[in-house]
Amino acid sequence: MKKRTPSLRQQMSLIILLCWLLPMVIAATATGWYLLSGAGRQKERAVEEQFQLNLQLGTDRVNSAVEASRLPSYDPDLREAWTQYRRDGSYPLLYRRLSTLLGRLYQSDSRFLYGVFCFAEDPEEMAITVVNGSSGLLYSQARELWRLDAESIRALAAELDTTVGFREQEGRVYLVRNLMDSGYAPIGTLALALNTDYFFGDLALLPWASAVSVSLGPEAALTLKGDGPPSPGGKTLEHTIRGRDYTLRGTASLDYAALFTGAGSYRWLLPAMGLSLLLLLLFTFRFFRRRISQPIRELMDGAAHIRQGELGYQIEAGTGSREFQYLVDSFNQMSGQLRRQFNRLYQEELARRDAQIKALQAHINPHFLNNTLETINWQARLCGDVKASRMIEALSTVLDAALDRKGSPQVRLAEEMTYVNAYLYIVTQRFGKRLTVETDLPEELMDCLVPRLILQPVIENAVEHGVGPKGRGRVALRGFRREGFLVLEIENDGGLRPEDEAHIARLLSPDYDMQNEPAGNIGIANVNLRLRILYGPECGLTITRGAGSLVTARLLVAARR
């Protein structure tokens, strides 16, 4: 089992307490003459006032924590998200807004170590955890502590209405509150783990107290210092302060023997304090050299190795504190990731160069094909075959669009229509008057930018599958704007069979893979995928059955000029 390394703050606190303990005891001994001279009762009253003052300070801080726990109840965004969740079950929105709210309220609040919000509908699964970044806790540690304490906290929450409650679990004190909606129906339970050092640290450091404990209720008693009865000749101090939703009770054992040891050693006070300060200085210097300077030097050396090109360099020396160990682990992880990222970019660069070479090689064949079409077109003109010449020119236009010689992924709708018109000219020569083509595209849409070759594959699909099987039919193309989108519709009267609808649904599925699909079946899938990549998942291609035998293919494009 890995030994848990104490935090840097814990080590510094321990050293300072140990080095200052002796001067405090000596100073307390030097004041003994004041007690022996008859002023004991006055000193005792001062001690009681100090205890009550510190307890009142703790009460004020607890009151501030109680007020902080009420803040989520008044947040309008949370209520709006909860209302929407109750209406349509939109849990991601509710989770995101509540997580952001809790992070803003408690993640940097030194009064709390961590906080957990459990929804009333499913408290075990629907839970949000926030951790104070200065607490030294990791999210995994906070969740493990909550797993141990959750059942007891939820049992307490079941007894609460709109008030707050406190419960202690193995030294951890929780402030528990139920959040209600406007109809006083429970939304969930908020549990905040208190930073007891912040609330009662002053009580724990009382030099004259051999034991100090506080209680925020029957389920929230906490021992701050010692746990035994007062020493012989001592006295127990008790004080109760009532808050708005709780009662704070404090108990301290007054140790006269530790507070007043006699005035005989007064002459040693200053030398002893000087020696203690010297020891404190030496221990502090040694501590910072071993716990701070040396780990920082290791990190700097590691950074120098990476700067010199040693990607993936790992720091193996121990740090002695949890914070620096976290930095070393993060450094090693980032160094490894940097090396892997560099290797991946290197492999991608090799692949990119290979692709460029293949693209240059593949460019020769389409160029030869285009020149061949020009030769055939020239021969057709010499023979006076105008119809064949125009068909070759239309085919050349479609070929130029497919080759994308300009390298522009988007074109004006007017240019896209030249490719469509070229294709339609070819198919009208095939079908003649059996094919009716209708176009309704307002002139103001012609400057809109669309991806190259998104209409021709869809129109070809309509002709081949809608008109082709029957040998005759109608194809209509229309466009319009709607809420920031350009909508292009291609309608045919060929009808859809159930097996055709299933095939179309598979081709237009977001997770469709075109790798193993025959080339003749990927036209509409290619169009849909390009639209989703360029404009986001809200855009794309849909094909639906209309009235009678009408079939409508609808392209949704983000309107841009």
- Per-residue model confidence as pLDDT tens digits over 76-134: 877 788 888 878 877 888 788 888 888 888 888 888 989 998 888 877 777 888 988 88
pLDDT at 12: 62
**Termini Cα distance of the chain:** 64
pLDDT at 491: 92
User: Model confidence over 359-377: pLDDT tens digits?
Assistant: 444 443 454 455 555 556 5
* pLDDT score of 478 more than 90: yes
pLDDT at 228: 60
* pLDDT score of 487 more than 90: yes
pLDDT at 203: 80
Question: CA-CA distances (angstroms) from residue 29 to 24, 209, 232, 253, 303?
Answer: 9, 15, 17, 18, 53
* pLDDT score of 489 more than 90: yes
**What 3-state DSSP class applies to 553?**
strand
Q: Is 180 exposed, middle or buried (0-12, 13-18, 19+ CB in 10 A)?
A: middle
SS (H, E, C) 460-483: HHHHHHHHCCCCCEEEEEEEEEEC
pLDDT at 286: 76
For the chain, give every residue range classified as CATH 3.30.450.20: 32-259
Residue 183 sits at the vertex; the CA angle it makes with 179 and 188, to the nearest 5 degrees, is 25
Inter-residue contact 198 to 61 (CB < 8 Å): yes
User: Model confidence over 130-145: pLDDT tens digits?
Assistant: 988 888 888 888 888 8
For the chain, give every residue range classified as CATH 3.30.565.10: 436-558
Give the model's confidence band at 18: pLDDT under 50 very low, under 70 low, under 90 confident, else very high.
low
Q: Which long-range contacts (CB under 8 A, 24 or more apart) does 323-332 make?
A: 323/7, 323/8, 323/136, 324/8, 324/291, 324/292, 324/295, 325/5, 327/295, 327/299, 328/295, 328/298, 328/299, 331/299, 331/302
Average pLDDT over residues 161-168: 86
Higher pLDDT, 406 or 448: 448
User: Model confidence over 315-354: pLDDT tens digits?
Assistant: 776 666 777 777 777 877 887 787 888 777 777 676 665 5
Question: CA-CA distances (angstroms) from residue 32 to 233, 256, 265?
Answer: 15, 9, 10
The yes or no reply on domain 436-558 and CATH 3.30.565.10 is: yes
Report which of 504, 505, 434 is spatially closest to residue 469, judged by C-alpha positions.
Answer: 434
Question: 32-259 belongs to which CATH class?
Answer: alpha beta
Average pLDDT over residues 220-242: 75
CA dihedral for 82, 83, 84, 86, sign (positive or negative): positive
Quickly count helices (H) and strands (E) in the chain: 17, 16
Give the model's confidence band at 378: pLDDT under 50 very low, under 70 low, under 90 confident, else very high.
low
Residues above pLDDT 70, as percent of the chain: 73
pLDDT at 467: 81
pLDDT at 386: 59
User: Model confidence over 441-461: pLDDT tens digits?
Assistant: 999 999 898 888 888 888 888
Backbone angles phi, psi at 204, to 5 degrees: -70, -25
Give the model's confidence band at 471: pLDDT under 50 very low, under 70 low, under 90 confident, else very high.
confident
Inter-residue contact 251 to 223 (CB < 8 Å): no
Higher pLDDT, 460 or 226: 460
User: Model confidence over 60-78: pLDDT tens digits?
Assistant: 888 888 888 888 888 887 7
pLDDT at 362: 44
* Poorest-pLDDT segment among 46-50, 381-385, 492-496: 381-385
